[in-house]
Structure 1
Amino acid sequence: MGQAGARTRRRLALGTAVLTAAGLLAVAAPQQAQAATGCPGRKVRTLTFATGSVVVHERGAHVCAVTVPKKPGTKRQMSVSVQARGGRPVVDSGRFAHRAGPVTVYAGKRCVWVRGAVSGRSVSSGWILC
């Protein structure tokens, strides 16, 4: 059983390596998504407009948003804001090359209003996530 046993061990080792790699990729993928936007939690909305989009994430009772331009790399005026109903908006505004934000608010069970802008074009959600 010398050669047959060696083949079996090699196959088991290869199978273990493949499963380990797949498991590592599954664990790393959510972190890459968070790194791209800077927001923790699950993506719940994407609000698109002519020059970009606002990506909205929710984690527990917190809501986070980021404005991303359609063509990143050049600094331009951008902003993002999130406002829980009854509260003040949390805003990030300035000249950015890749994104405005992330901004996070504690919303509890309240609705939120999300706004974003890139180069003078903008989007406004109205009350969402109620």
Structure 2
Amino acid sequence: MAVGMALLTASGLLALAAPGEAGAASSRCEGRKVRTLTFTTGYVNVYKHNGTICAMTFQKNPGRDRRMTVSVQARGLVPVPAAGVRPRSIGPVQTHAGHRCVRVKGSVGAGSVSTGWILC
């Protein structure tokens, strides 16, 4: 009982010390890479894991802050986007697609890529 209380107290203190870390999302996609979508200023990697589709956009020449976007949409659902000014990558964004087709978009600066319905 004392050990259980000590663990609960320690986990509570950690959550207070780093509130942004406790529920933070992963900085990468899980699963196997199923597509790489290239364009002039970057590329989007698309991953699949247990029916979940995940995507991240990367700069071709990282280091300089540039406006980037990434979006993934399962057919019949709303897109899940991310956008910002970053030096290397943006994302991950993910949606549970099951066996539905997905649409993926990404951009870095003026370059961009957009698929039709893929992975059907």
The alignment's TM-score, normalised by the length of structure 2, stands at: 0.77
Deviation track 1:46-96 (CA, whole Å, cap 9, x = no partner) reads 000000000000001100000001011111100000000011000010101
Give the whole-Å Cα distance in 2 for the aligned partners of 1:88 and 1:50.
27
Higher Cα radius of gyration: 1
Deviation at 1:125, TM superposition (A): 1.2
Aligned to 2:39: 49
Give the whole-Å Cα distance in 1 for the aligned partners of 2:39 and 2:87.
17
Q: Report 1:74-93 matches (<5 A).
A: 74-93=64-83
Q: Structure 1: which 4+ aligned runs deviate by more than 3 Å?
A: none
Aligned to 2:104: 114
- 1:52 is matched by which residue type in structure 2? G
**Percent of residue pairs bearing the same amino acid type:** 54
Aligned to 2:3: none
Q: How many residues align?
A: 95
Give the whole-Å Cα distance in 2 for the aligned partners of 1:117 and 1:101.
12
The alignment's TM-score, normalised by the length of structure 1, stands at: 0.71
* Secondary structure, aligned partner of 1:126: coil
- 1:41 is matched by which residue type in structure 2? G
Deviation at 1:44, TM superposition (A): 0.2
Uncovered stretches (5+) of structure 2, i.e. residues with no partner: 1-25
* Secondary structure, aligned partner of 1:127: coil
Structure with the bigger RCO (C-alpha within 8 Å, sep 6+) is: 2
The RMSD of aligned alpha carbons is: 1.2
Give the whole-Å Cα distance in 1 for the aligned partners of 2:31 and 2:62.
23
Aligned to 2:51: 61
